Structure 1
Amino acid sequence: MTPRPSEDKPDFPWWLVAIIAFTAFFVFQVVGNPLYEQVAGKLFKGVKITVFVTLIGFLLASIFGLMLAVASLSKYQILRQLSRFYVEVIRGLPILVILLYVSFVVAPGIVQGWNFLAESIGIDPIRTRDFTFLWRAIIALTIGYSAFISEVFRAGILSVEEGQIEAAEALGLNGWQRFRHIIFPQAIRTIMPPLGNDFIAMIKDSSLVSVLGVLDITQLGKVTAAGNFRYFETYNVVAMLYLTLTVTLSLLLRKLEAKMRGKYP
């Protein structure tokens, strides 16, 4: 039987060496090629949009997901059923479908509802175009990922032994104190790895916002390639930018998980 690698002595990260070497070679090609430099200069503008969409969308999805997880574990059946209904429905829909539905159905409905309310209280109405596609995309990603993240939080909370929660109750700790001092410090070790995976997945799924014309990395790549007809060079840069973002984040999450294991043995 082949021995499993030990956590105390992990394998040497040859995969990381290979990625760094490949990246260094690619950067050398970019620096030495005027076409690559031109393409990279245009696509770097989309990095800011990609990062903004991902950070805001993931933050909102995490907050909403935590609320769903708490509702799914509530003592009230109505909250449990509503949470389960939401999670199962949203998880059954592709992110792209949610993105299009929110952008062209939900957003206009929100504008109509706001204008109806504004008219009744004397506030100036807004136009559908005032609800930018950037924020429609963020809302769609929030809705789509909150269902998955809620399951991550729920699994983490359930991983805490019931006896410890009962002991905290016996000591007179209220619900918030139990969550802060007993449940969360232990649940976070279970939550962090899948939560980090969802964050990386959202970076990649943020490329779907390009179908709305949002000027992220993918959309700028499509526009640039359509203008210069150099698809090979353009999409090489697109792929490298996404790879750089995801690998860097993956390494940071590994370090964070290692520190947390040391903090919470």
Structure 2
Amino acid sequence: MTRLHDWLRPTPPPQTDPPLDPGQRRALWIEVTIVLLVTFGLSGLSGILSLIETALQPGQLSDQSVALNASRSTFGWIDLGRQLLGIARLCAWAALGLYLLWRSGLGPERIGLGRHPRWRRDLLPGVGLAALIGLPGLALYLVATAVGANLTVVPSTVDDHWWRLPALVLWALANSAAEEILVVAYLISRLRRLGWSENASLAASALLRGSYHLYQGLGGGLGNVVMGLVFGRYWQRTGKLWPLVVAHWLIDAVAFVGYTVLRDRVSWLP
């Protein structure tokens, strides 16, 4: 019990930067606000509106469905182009977070995203985190859908093209990179710099993650808040971001690709 308590307690980073003056604080708040409005903050507001909209529809939430990856054109090559543009947008969001952190002295190495991830230090913990979050997350989704608190989530409705599976794998990678860099490393680092406590910055990160998944329903939002708490605390304790990227990529890739492969073979899949 003591070891669990020690793990749950954050390890504050060493304070090496001088305190911010009022002008610097204002500038940093402006930066954070703009970044969130351009990226996941706006997605969070959209998720809240989507949840309200679906709640106002007749029937239970589970009677409605939402696709995580959908076809974007009836023409295959245009669909591919739009899929790649969506992937590129997420990669640009991740690059924006990395650039702003680098400009402030927090290069990739300092946020736990070194050039060469190591098997024991980065990849194995990522697999463990994927199992820790993915299996209970699936159970939560099934329960939430059964009680009518979640929409029926369809991981992919992309048409059967030769590029479908590679595109879904790239979507999973882009999602994981953008979310873990911006929502964990960038946001928590910036809130630290603004004087927020470790627990407060962790809560803000987790709530942001949950908000932009509310389009899936309350179950999707709650499950991602829990994921945000686990992932954020892991980063606060270890300073390693690669395991989070690996875990998130595995969860999404298994969901996207697994559903695409099995949907015509398993009767209970939507």
What TM-score range do you get, normalising by the shorter chain? under 0.3
Q: Which has the higher helix share?
A: 1
Name which one, 1 or 2, has greater alpha-carbon Rg. Answer: 1
TM-score (norm 2): 0.26
Q: Which has the higher contact order (CA 8 A, sep 6+)?
A: 2
